[in-house]
Amino acid sequence: MRYIVTGGAGFIGSNLTATLARDHEVVIIDNLATGHQENIEHLLGHPRVTFVEGSITDLDLLAETFPGADGVFHQAAIPSVPRSVKDPLASNEANVTGTLDVLVAAKDCGVPAVVAASSSSVYGDTPALPKHEGMVPNPLSPYAVTKLADECYGKVFSDLYGIRTVSLRYFNVFGPRQDPKSEYAAVIPKFITRLLAGEPPVIYGDGEQTRDFTFVADVVQANIRAMESDARGVFNIAGGRRISLNQLASILMEITGTRCDPIYEAPRAGDIRDSLADISRARKAFGYDPQYSVEEGLFQAVAWFRERV
């Protein structure tokens, strides 16, 4: 098969590309705004991998690249709630306009399927747990709004133009190649790098907020299974278990061999309190089956970061 991976130099996209390249031809499209070329350096000499540096908002570039593709894995985005709160226009341009451009290019170029990254943030802070796809969305940040808009565009393009679209609502993905340096980095790489440096983790709020963390290899599995199936629509992708940030810090202290009291700061705007996914719909539709516990994933993540600190 010939697949396009937008955002293929990013955290999830680079892991997905590496797995796809074992058996398929892969074209990476990335403008390196939030992705990093070092994530794909080991793939650039691969005979089945092509890297195109450019933006998903460049419709002409997509029109040149998409013909002959068997599917698009759409991972490109500005993936940050705090960043979207600070700059909602940039998030909208990348996440909504960019997704619309991808769908238009897929339609015009005859690409049969688009599997796109969505987010658990679309659920907002509704108290019911676990979150299931039939719940009414309640986005609390511009980022969450962009992902909900992307899902709506996906459904419309599926209904109107016959493209098979799948939106995967990721729950707190972590693992190797996740960027800890950004001001808007996710909690796990920030915790790991601070602990490896002998510094206490910083927790926004009381630390009792819970998350359903998902190891990146399970997200890769979900994308490929969804593409190879006949599934359409929205699906939760998660580990199916929640832990608090205080528990997370404790586990990481044990793995890294560091002991220190976390620093607690004021909660951040747009953050949700609790998160837990019902993943039964993805299990039934395309056999999604998470293979990694949080602890197993954290061991791998710490090992990867330890080599780079």
CA–CA dist 264, 169 (Å, integer): 29
Task: Answer whether 171's CB lies under 8 Å from 236's CB.
Answer: yes
CA–CA dist 297, 176 (Å, integer): 9
Those residues with Cβ within 8 angstroms of residue 16's Cβ, 6 or more apart along the chain or in another chain: 5, 8, 73, 75, 219, 220, 223, 224
Residues assigned a catalytic role: 143
Phi and psi based region of residue 152 (left: phi greater than 0; alpha: psi -120 to 50; beta: remaining): alpha
Q: Look up residue 200 and give its DSSP letter.
A: P
Alpha helix (H) ranges present in 66-135? 81-86, 88-92, 98-109
Crossing angle of helices 294-306/187-196, nearest 10°?
Answer: 50
Phi and psi based region of residue 191 (left: phi greater than 0; alpha: psi -120 to 50; beta: remaining): alpha
